Amino acid sequence: MALLGVESAVTAASLDPLGVVFGLLAGAFWALYILASAETGKQVPGLGGLSAAMIIAAVVVVPIGASGAVRVVEEPGLLLFALAAALLSSVLPYSLEIAALRRLPSDVFSVLLSLEPAIATVVGWVLLGQGAGVLSIAAVILVVLASMGVTLGQGRPRADPEPSAA
């Protein structure tokens, strides 16, 4: 959307090529995440794969955030908020994603994930009072309609092509 200039003052001249590369890399890694999660969901029963992934992520991230842990230890009331943030921002969503990936094809799941920005726009508007411009609202509607089309169209069998007369 930013590339189209929706809700931003971005012009082609002000685009940082490195930022565009990072954006494309993020999209590629998101696609790899979907495929790897789908395969993990098939191969590993229950939430074992997710548990292993969370442990690996913690080993990578904890050293970076260790300085913030001092404050949590000094103010134990913050521990409850830290646990709630961990559960609500990582454990619960990823658990639900694994469950969905076990039931949905990867292509349908990826389209449904495209709803996340639309949901964020609605939540920002309702809970935070953040405004959304006409183009943003139109984009949200188009994403929702596309997601509905792919999801609803998934259950219909494809029509067989007409046999050719020989």
pTM of structure: 0.58
- Closest to 58 (Cα-Cα) out of 22, 15, 91, 104: 91
* Residue with the larger pLDDT of the pair 64 and 107: 64
6: pLDDT confidence band, cut at 50, 70 and 90? low
- Alpha carbons 143 and 122: distance in angstroms, whole number: 13
Q: Using the 8-state DSSP alphabet, how is residue 16 labeled?
A: -
Mean pLDDT score, 48-77: 83
pLDDT at residue 44, rounded to an integer: 85
pLDDT at residue 21, rounded to an integer: 92
**What are the domain boundaries of the chain?**
106-154
Of 1-5, 25-29, 37-41, which one has max mean pLDDT?
A: 25-29
Q: Compute the mean pLDDT over every residue in the chain, rounded to the nearest whole number.
A: 79
- Rg over CA atoms, the chain: 21
Q: Tell me: the pLDDT tens digits for 82-141?
A: 888 888 888 888 888 888 888 888 777 877 787 888 888 888 888 988 888 888 888 888
- Alpha carbons 40 and 50: distance in angstroms, whole number: 8
Torsion of CA 77, 81, 83, 84, to 10 degrees: 140
Is the pLDDT assigned to residue 25 strictly greater than 90? yes
* Residue with the larger pLDDT of the pair 118 and 156: 118
